[in-house]
């Protein structure tokens, strides 16, 4: 029986997993003079500092088809996750790699899941897959379970700057300009199509945290798992955790620093929240 390998592009914020065979496929962040590869060797703090002082253009680049093929390997069945296809070509590259691998090994099973999201919500998907594998589920059952779970999770975010998103055409420049003024935070979510929807703007950290909690409950949160990723904003992440636990004392919440790709788009002060509904 083939082993099952979990593969994800680096928007998942994970580098290794102890419980299963896992490979992270790096995206890259580029300026006119530098490249930051989002792998285990990346110093995220240095990248964030460098990008904040860079006045020229910067952009992200998805993994190539060959990158995905190497990650899939030659033998294992594969369950793969990508950043939303609404914002990146990573999903298309992974699908092309799947076809190539299946041509070479017709008996292999490779399932590619377009997260329609990024960061903490993908973390939830991977944790679900690991849980199902640990319980003894077979490949098809794991894929079905994760796809069903995807219908019950959400991503929301609060960002202090939309500069990089606007520079790369992910949001409008007017919205980005407003978010960068006088302590305004932009709060948003991902749409059903995997694009970014801005829900509103608020002033100050406390109001942003309140807004995030209100939106979580509006979207159906009742005390399930929450994963909070942040770029240099442990204060907001901690305040949100405290607020959630006050309402739902049994909630399973984990906070972690975002890695390269998500830090690039969240920028300094950004908070991303994946949660079950």
Phi, psi of 76 (to 5 degrees): -70, 155
Instruction: State pTM to two decimals.
Output: 0.95
Instruction: Write the pLDDT tens digit of every residue in 193-224.
Output: 999 999 999 988 999 999 999 999 999 999 99
Instruction: Place domain 4-27+62-150 in its CATH homologous superfamily.
Output: Dihydroxyacetone kinase; domain 1 (3.40.50.10440)
**Other beta carbons within 10 Å of 119:** 29
In this structure, are residues 84 and 115 in contact, taking their beta carbons and an 8 Å threshold?
Answer: yes
- The rounded distance, in Å, linking the Cα atoms of 105 and 91 is 21
pLDDT band at 168 (very low <50, low <70, confident <90, very high): confident
Q: What is the DSSP string of the chain?
A: ---EEEEEEGGG--S--SSSEEEEE--EEEESS-EEE-STT--HHHHHHHHHT--S-EEEEPPPHHHHHHHH-SSSEEEEEES-TTT-SHHHHHHHHHHHHHHH-TT--EEEEE-SS-THHHHHHHHHHHHHHHTT--HHHHHHHHHHHHTTEEEEEEES--HHHHHTTSS-HHHHHHHTSTTEEEEEEE-TTS-EEEEEEEESHHHHHHHHHHHHHHTT-SS--EEEEESS-HHHHHHHHHHHHHH-TT--EEEEE--HHHHHHH-TT-EEEEEE-
Tokens of 188: 């948003």
Enter the CATH code of domain 153-276.
Answer: 3.30.1180.10
pLDDT band at 179 (very low <50, low <70, confident <90, very high): low
Mean pLDDT of 18-36: 95
pLDDT of residue 163: 86
pLDDT of residue 2: 62
- pLDDT exceeding 90 applies to what percent of the chain? 84
Higher pLDDT, 19 or 259: 259
Average pLDDT, the chain: 94
Non-local (6+) Cβ contacts of 201 within 8 A are 178, 179, 184, 185, 186, 187
pLDDT band at 19 (very low <50, low <70, confident <90, very high): confident
Delimiting residues of CATH 3.30.1180.10 domain(s) in the chain = 153-276
Residue 34, CA distances (Å) to 53, 130, 268 in order: 13, 36, 19
Instruction: Write the pLDDT tens digit of every residue in 46-102.
Output: 999 999 888 889 999 999 999 999 999 998 999 999 999 999 999 999 999 999 999
- The neighbouring-strand residues paired with 23 are 7
Q: Is it the case that residue 1 has pLDDT exceeding 50? A: no
């Amino acid at each position: 029986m083939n082993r099952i390998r979990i593969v994800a592009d680096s928007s998942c914020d994970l580098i290794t997993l102890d419980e299963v065979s896992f490979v992270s496929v790096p995206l890259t962040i580029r300026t006119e003079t530098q490249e930051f590869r989002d792998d285990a060797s990346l110093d995220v703090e240095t990248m964030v500092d460098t990008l904040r002082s860079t006045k020229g253009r910067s952009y992200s680049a998805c993994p190539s088809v060959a990158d995905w093929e190497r990650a899939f390997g030659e033998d294992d069945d594969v369950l793969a996750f990508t950043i939303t296809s609404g914002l990146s070509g990573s999903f298309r590259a992974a699908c092309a790699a799947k076809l190539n691998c299946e041509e070479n090994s017709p008996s292999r099973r490779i399932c590619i899941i377009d997260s329609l999201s990024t960061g903490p919500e993908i973390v939830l998907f991977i944790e679900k897959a690991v849980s199902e594998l640990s319980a003894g589920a077979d490949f098809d059952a794991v894929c079905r379970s994760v796809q069903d779970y995807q219908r019950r999770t959400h991503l929301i975010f609060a960002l202090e700057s939309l500069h990089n998103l606007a520079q790369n055409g992910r949001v409008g420049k007017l919205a980005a300009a407003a978010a960068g003024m006088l302590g305004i935070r932009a709060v948003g979510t991902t749409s059903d199509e995997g694009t970014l929807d801005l829900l509103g703007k608020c002033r100050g950290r406390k109001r942003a945290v309140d807004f995030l909690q209100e939106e979580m409950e509006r979207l159906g949160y009742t005390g399930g798992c929450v994963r909070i990723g942040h770029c240099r904003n442990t204060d907001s992440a901690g305040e949100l955790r405290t607020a959630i636990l006050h309402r739902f004392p049994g909630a399973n919440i984990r906070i972690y620093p975002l890695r390269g790709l998500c830090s690039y788009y969240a920028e300094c002060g950004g908070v991303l929240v994946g949660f079950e509904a």
